[in-house]
Amino acid sequence: MLIHVPHILTPEEVAYCRQKLEAGQWVDGKVTAGDQSAKAKVNLQIPQESAVAKELGTMILHALARSDIFTSAALPLRVFPPLFNRYDEGMEFEYHVDNSIRPDPETGFRIRTDVSSTLFLSDPESYDGGELVIRDTYGVHTVKFPAGDLVLYPSTSLHKVNCVTRGSRWASFFWTQSMVKDDAYRTILYELDQSIRSVRQTMPDTSSAVLGLTSTYHNLVRRWAEL
């Protein structure tokens, strides 16, 4: 399931991120890549232990918490502290699959990567290339969203970032361990939740239809969730 979540960050928050990142120290992006992925990865990152990464990461986590779409689609149990990368001209990340387990460098706590997320921090008109390309059973999807928008997709997907041919592409990226690790089950729950929201716009919450759908949703979550 690939989900577009618009306006995770406000324009003011995007501008603040850009200001802080412009003053940050960028290092080779291979520092967070596995042995195989490192051979396909050419980009820059802000060190995840830096004060800038921690401050902006906390801001993004707060923004995610206020997003009903993110919560509905990811059903988050734990979110890995957001990281930040950039692709300048000539940089790219060839096809790869994200590591299945990620340790938090500060706490040592490990999370299972069920859902991958990219939060765009550059306006799409400011660079050429740099599209996120996701390959799944339904084909190939090319993603290049406005600054402040987020895309979620299963971490099991092969994906890449096309070579940037003009400008610079900046983004935040992170992973979520979902309460429901199976993407097919998460898709069912997300679609059911969206249907419930639609029905509630035309019928009272006390109606048998709303109560029945809501009951089914929570019973499915109860059946599939792992805490």
In degrees and rounded to multiples of 5, residue 91 shows phi and psi of -95, 150
**Angle of CA points 151, 152, 156, to nearest 5°:** 135
- Residue 96 annotated as part of some ligand binding site: yes
Max CA distance (Å), the chain: 58
How far apart CA 165 and CA 201 sit, in angstroms, is 46
Flag whether 98 is marked binding: yes
Terminal C-alpha separation, the chain: 22
For the chain, percent helix, then strand, then coil, each to nearest 5? 35, 30, 35
Does residue 124 contact residue 20 with C-beta atoms inside 8 Å? no
Q: How far apart are CA 145 and CA 158, in angstroms?
A: 19
Alpha carbon distance 82, 111 (integer Å): 13
The response to whether 104 counts as a known ligand-binding position is: no
CB 177 within 8 A of CB 111: yes
Structure tokens at 82: 């957001």
Q: List, as residue ranges, the binding site for 2-oxoglutarate.
A: 169
Q: List, as residue ranges, the binding site for Fe cation.
A: 96, 98, 159
Q: List, as residue ranges, the binding site.
A: 96, 98, 159, 169
